[in-house]
Amino acid sequence: MEEKTTIKEAFTELAPRYEKVVDKELQKFWGWSYENFIESLILNTKTIPGEHILDIATGTCLIPRRLIENKRQVMITGIDITHAMLKHGKDKIIKSGMDSNIYLATGDAMLMPFKRNSFELAMCGLATHHMNVSKLLGEVYRVLKPDGRFSLADVGGSSLWRKPIASFFIKILAYIYFLITENKDRAWAEATAVANVQTTDSWFEKLTKVGFTNIEIEKLPSKSFWVPDPLLIQATKPKYFPGEE
């Protein structure tokens, strides 16, 4: 089955219970609550009142909701490939009365329906491992304005994760684990994500290749040495770049 179709099916089924399930998984693997993990991304992200932020793979929109609650005075567009995740996010936004500053779009982050140079800041939480990171970074770079920033939080594996044999066995283990604890679609979505997990070095390399500068990567504490670490990553699109007007 095509990877994007499996992701949509997995997250459509997961949408109504997503926040509870992800909280349980982050507590189990990292010792972080979901709320605290997203809060650490938000604290690590400088915003300027009035700027337009893109939240990539926004899911049920916790990042936009927390930004507004933090009184950042920004406009946020959230994009996600799974309509059901956005629908649950929209309900939460309406319930908390934040709908005037948050816009949502269904779409693929590797082919975004936005013009180049549209956003001052792009954010992404817990989602890059579901995508081809090079394609995603190319799109983020395109839609960011010159001097725009990219701030993300996700898993980062050791160099072992990039070795084909290890990656193959981790993929099988991930499939079995999520098949037992969840279901077939989630198991397949998480197993295929193994190949997309980056190391700090490959993050640095891929971000640099696309043209990002000022790259900062911070490993957050985790209680398990055998699962990929939680990472906070920041990078900037330069103000002037050869070939750009």
Candidate residues 127, 143, 207, 235; the one interacting with ligand SAM per rule CB under 6 A: 127
Candidate residues 9, 80, 185, 190; the one interacting with ligand SAM per rule CB under 6 A: 80
CB-nearer residue toward ligand SAM: 25 or 238: 25
Candidate residues 26, 42, 54, 57; the one interacting with ligand SAM per rule CB under 6 A: 57
Cα separation values, 158 from 166, 170, 181, 207, 218, Å: 11, 12, 25, 18, 14
CA-based nearest residue to 156, from 133, 129, 180, 135:
129
- Is there binding between residue 59 and ligand SAM (CB under 6 A)? yes
Taking the C-alpha atoms of residue 85 and residue 89, their distance in angstroms, rounded to an integer, is: 6
Taking the C-alpha atoms of residue 243 and residue 245, their distance in angstroms, rounded to an integer, is: 7
CB-nearer residue toward ligand SAM: 53 or 109: 109
CB-nearer residue toward ligand SAM: 140 or 207: 140
CB-nearer residue toward ligand SAM: 2 or 245: 2
CA-based nearest residue to 122, from 66, 174, 76, 182:
76
- Is there binding between residue 82 and ligand SAM (CB under 6 A)? yes
- Is there binding between residue 11 and ligand SAM (CB under 6 A)? yes
Report in angstroms how near the CB of residue 223 gets to ligand SAM at its nearest.
20
Single out the segment in contact with ligand SAM by CB under 6 A; choices: 122-130, 138-146, 203-211, 230-238.
Answer: 122-130
Provide the residue type at 189 as one letter.
Answer: A
Task: For 21-48, give the DSSP string.
Answer: HHHHHHHHHTS--HHHHHHHHHHT----
- Is there binding between residue 93 and ligand SAM (CB under 6 A)? no
Write b or e for each residue in 129-165: b if 16 or more Cβ atoms lie within 10 A of its Cβ, otherwise e. Answer: bbbebeebbbbbbebbbeebbbbbbbbbbeeebeeee
- Is there binding between residue 62 and ligand SAM (CB under 6 A)? yes
Report in angstroms how near the CB of residue 157 gets to ligand SAM at its nearest.
16
- Burial class (CB within 10 angstroms; exposed 0-12, middle 13-18, buried 19+) of 51: middle
Query: In this chain, which residue has its C-beta nearest to ligand SAM?
Result: 59
- Catalog residues that contact ligand SAM under the rule CB under 6 A: 7, 11, 38, 57-59, 62-63, 79-82, 85, 108-110, 125-127, 130-131
